[in-house]
Structures are given as structure tokens and as C-alpha cells.
Amino acid sequence: MDSTTLLPPVKEAIEQFPHHFHEDAASYASPLGAAWAPGRVNLIGEHTDYNGGYVLPLAVDRVSAFAGRTRNDQTVRLWSTHFNAYAQFSLAGLPESFEEQREKIPGWARYVLGVATELIKANITLKGFDAVITGDVPLGGGMSSSAALEVASAQAYALFSNHSFSIGEDNATLTPLETAGLCQKAEQNASGLMSGILDQAASCLGQPRKAILLDCRSLEYRYLPFEDPGVSVVVIDTGVRRELASSAYNERRKQCEEATQRIRTLILENEPDNTEARSIKALRDITPEQFEQYKGQLPQILQQRAGYIIAENERVLQVVKLLEAGKIEEAGKILWLGHAGLRDEYEVSCKELDVLVDIARDVPGVLGARMMGGGFGGCTINLVRNEAVDALSQAVERHYQERTGRQASIDICRAAAGPSYVLFEN
């Protein structure tokens, strides 16, 4: 691959490597190589993944990237351009040494350590390496910077272990979804957040001009066309950063589990012959009709949480039908509804997200907008006619700071491919 065709973060990592790791190339066990993986946006289907439901993400042309060389020992040394910091750990002793090593390295490096731990648990042999890490996925912005880092880590381990294992579809050691599941476990262990598989799956499965319908229970997926030359995906960053583990994310998950159990019990008590009710495991298994019948017997807070998830799963399936019919513009209307549910029922929005959605609603040519990601900050996703992108940018510039005291940044994203790598000759 010609280095001029590489994405900017990949080129940056390659250029930065000799500045941070000064050993002679002959002292390494491989030529210079780079590995990367994309972040994602989620069109619709927020917080449905850990409820066994449906999600509709697409990987985007924003990546986390590694550039480096294989070492002759079991040490991994990393330089993060974002944090301006080194980190080092050893593959020797993993997985037993994970907890001990985890406490000695910065938070960003724990994800890389976590991925190594899960690969070793899967009986994959790894080699140490030195690498620079760069990226242009906004950190904490709801575009899955951590998942991009994890999936890029898995690709980097494959590359720097001299392809002792491989990631991909055809005859690979790990399929994309096996890789996603492994990276999901790494995230949970690194962060303490009991996240679903949405982010890692989107990064692993990305294809240009495609959205991905993923069933988060069966892990079945299929691609849907996501290409309208007249419509742009605009991501607007509130500038508000959140720590999901210290937010109400895990609390929401527990509330959904409680609502599921209560509704299941109510159905079985009132419909003893309903054998299907015995197999209810998550909110995804409860129909809108069943919820309407029994929601009055739930505490108000559980009504809100369950009501949002059940309606959101239906919204995903509505958008799928519209994309299949080539009606991207129509899909925008459903984004407004998704945001209202996240704001009012699931209560994971914040003032800044709501302001951005309100501003977007007043701009002709904005087809739909909603908060994206876990919530409490991050970004909004907007479907916008191309001719309205400048008007939206100007409206945000005019009104967002005066209403919030913050600066917002705007990006146009495109559906992109999943993880990849390049290896150069010495």
C-alpha cells in the first residue's frame, strides 16, 4: 500500500515512531508496520445492545492507529500522541498478572493490556512490540474511541506477532464477531463498565457505504445500503466529556433487568398457559402489546426505562425498512423520536445535547438529529441534506456557545471499512 493513501492518523503514527523509539531497526524482529480500526456512529438503537436488542451502526472514516515494530521479548511499549505519555507492560504472566499490571499503567493503556489478556486466554501466542498510538476518533464523544482502540489493538497484535493469528472473514483465526466479543470483554475489564457489543462489532464489521443491522443476542448481522449522494452524516461534539462507569450507565442496565423480571412474572401470573413467557430473558422479548398491558403495575422509573428500550427496538426495525427502500431522508424523522426517548424516558441526555438537537430542528434541510452514545455528553448525529450543512454549522456557531458557554465542533463522517494493516519493507 502506498503510504500517501493512508488515513492521516496512520501516517502520523508512522512518522512519529522513530521520534519516540530510537533503537536501530536491526534490533527489531520485524519491519515497520501499522494497524488501525475505525470508530462508529450509531444511526439508531441506543442502549438496546445490552438488552439483547437491535442496533444499526456504521463504521466511520475516523480511526485509532498503531505504528511500530515487533520486539525480541515479551514487552509492549507504547507512546500515545494524544496523552503525550509512555506506557509499558509485559505479556509474560498474562492473564494472571492482569490486575497487578493494570494498576501500574495509565487508563488508555489498560485497553491494550486488556486485549492482550483476552487473546492469551484464547490460546493465541503474542509477541512484544513498540508502537506509537494516534487517532482522530473524539475521546469520550460517543463515537467509540475505546472500541476503536481495542479493535486496533487486536489488529496490531496480529500484525506484530508476525501473523501468528489473523482477524477477518475467510479462514481467519478470529471472525469479526469473535474479535468484537473479545474486545468487549477487554473493555469491561479495563473500565469496569458492563458495556454491550455494539461498539466493537461496528468497528470490526465496517464496510464502505453500508450500515450494519446487528442482532445483539444471536449476533446475526446483515448489511444495508447507506448511500445517498444528497445526504451527509454530520456529527456535532458538545465538548462535554463523561465517564460512563461513574455515570448511570450500569444503573440503567440493572433497571432494565429488573423491569424484565417483573414483566415476565406478571405475564406468568396472569397468563399461566403462556409458555413463551417462560423464555423471556431481556426487554427485547417483551412485545409492545405486552408492555402496554402490564406497564401500569411497574414503578414509574421502570416504566420509563423499559418503555424507551421496547420502543427503540421498534424504531431500529422501522429505519431498516426505510434504508432497504432507499429512503434515507425518511429515516431522519425517527432520529427525533429516539432523542426524545433518550431525554425523557431513559434520562441519559444533558443540556448541551438537547441544545444541539433543538438548534438542528430549526434548520431547514436537517432531516433528523439525536444524541449518540452512552449519554451525559459526547456528540449528536444529524442526517442533513448537503445544501443545509453550512446552515447547520452557522446555526451551531451562532447559538450553541451563547446557550451553553461551550464550543462545539462539527465533523462530516462517511461509512467506512473495518480494521486493516500495512507492513513496509525495511
Can you tell me which residue has the cell 424507551? 308
Residue 418 and residue 61: Cα distance in Å, rounded?
9
Is beta strand 129-135 parallel, antiparallel or unpaired with respect to 75-80? Answer: parallel
Q: Which three cell numbers stand for residue 122?
A: 484464547
- Tell me, what amino acid is at 113? L
- Tell me, what amino acid is at 422? V
Is beta strand 33-44 parallel, antiparallel or unpaired with respect to 366-372? Answer: unpaired
Contact between 353 and 238 under an 8 Å Cβ cutoff? The reply is yes
Residue 9 and residue 162: Cα distance in Å, rounded?
23
Q: Name residue 210's beta-bridge partners.
A: 225
* HEC string for the chain: CCHHHCCHHHHHHHHHHHHHCCCCHHHCCCCCEEEEEEEEEEEECCCCHHHCCEEEEEEEEEEEEEEEEECCCCEEEEEECCCCEEEEEECCCCCCCHHHHHCCCCHHHHHHHHHHHHHHHCCCCCCCEEEEEEECCCCCCCCCHHHHHHHHHHHHHHHHCCCCCCECCCCCCECHHHHHHHHHHHHHHHHCCCCCCHHHHHHHHCCCCEEEEEECCCCCEEEEECCCCCEEEEEEECCCCCCHHHCCHHHHHHHHHHHHHHHHHHHHHHCCCCHHHHHCCCHHHCCHHHHHHHHHHCCHHHHHHHHHHHHHHHHHHHHHHHHHCCCHHHHHHHHHHHHHHHHHCCCCCCHHHHHHHHHHHCCCCEEEEEEECCCCCCEEEEEEEHHHHHHHHHHHHHHHHHHHCCCCEEEEECECCCCEEEECCC
Please confirm, yes or no, whether 354 is among the known catalytic residues. no
The one catalytic residue in 49, 136, 199, 354 is 199
Query: Which residues are identified as catalytic?
Result: 199
